Amino acid sequence: MRRKLIYFLALICGALGIYEACAVVIAYNKLSHQFAPYASVKLKDLGLNERRQEILIKIQDPTFFEHAGIEWPNPLTTTTITQSLVKKLFFDKFTKGFKKIEQTLIASFVVNPNISKEVQLVTFVSTAYFGEKDGKQLFGFNQGARSWFNKSLSELNDDEYLSLLAMLPGPNILKPNTVASRERVRRIKLVLNGECIYDHVSQIFLEQCSAR
């Protein structure tokens, strides 16, 4: 009986391995098409100057330029910029569990080795989700800026930009001019001023800054 159980479990593991391997191959075949609209765009063309690019990386994914698409030791419980792109571009409907494993594999073995960090950032800035307003879902920093502040991204002042950036972990909860948004912006400023340590995307909610 025990031998049958071990054999059965081995079959399941083998089948899951094949499934995930196929998912990676399918993603690789879609790679060029999915990133084609962003390959020749520059961040400055989107209205994001160098300083604000640095702030984006520092707050959204502080080890972005160092990691290989995922951040250890918790790649299945965190979401890097690369994993976020995989979720948007390669899944019609994303759920936790096996989809998270698939997302992590695609980020690490498909997107990160083949898509430059700059193109990844351009794609993120162009596709990031900024909640829903007046029944319309908002995607991309520029659409977020237009909808929430009636300005282009380049026209935002520093506090408005930080309010937009603050939305990313929970866009429909952290809407600008709410108590939750103001508190997150306060924590972001602590990080930027060097008053609170934030080194890994697993700390993205900045709970370590809450009491300061």
Q: Is the dihedral angle over the CA atoms 88, 92, 93, 98 positive or is it negative?
A: negative
Highest mean pLDDT pick, 24-38, 45-59, 68-82 = 45-59
| Other C-beta atoms lying within 10 Å of the C-beta of residue 176 | 20
Q: Name the phi and psi angles at 131, rounded to 5.
A: 80, -165
pTM over 0.75: yes
pLDDT in tens, 101-135: 899 999 999 999 999 999 999 999 999 999 999 88
Give the domain CATH number at 29. 1.10.3810.10
What gap in Å lies between CA 102 and CA 68, rounded to an integer?
15
What gap in Å lies between CA 5 and CA 103, rounded to an integer?
29
Q: Work out the average pLDDT over 20-29.
A: 77
Q: Given pLDDT bands bounded at 50, 70 and 90, which one contains residue 10?
A: very low
Please give the pLDDT value at position 18: 65
pLDDT higher than 50, residue 42: yes
Q: How many folded domains does the chain comprise?
A: 1
The whole domain housing 156 covers: 2-209
What gap in Å lies between CA 161 and CA 159, rounded to an integer?
5
pLDDT higher than 80, residue 212: no
pLDDT in tens, 153-188: 999 999 999 999 999 999 999 999 999 999 999 999
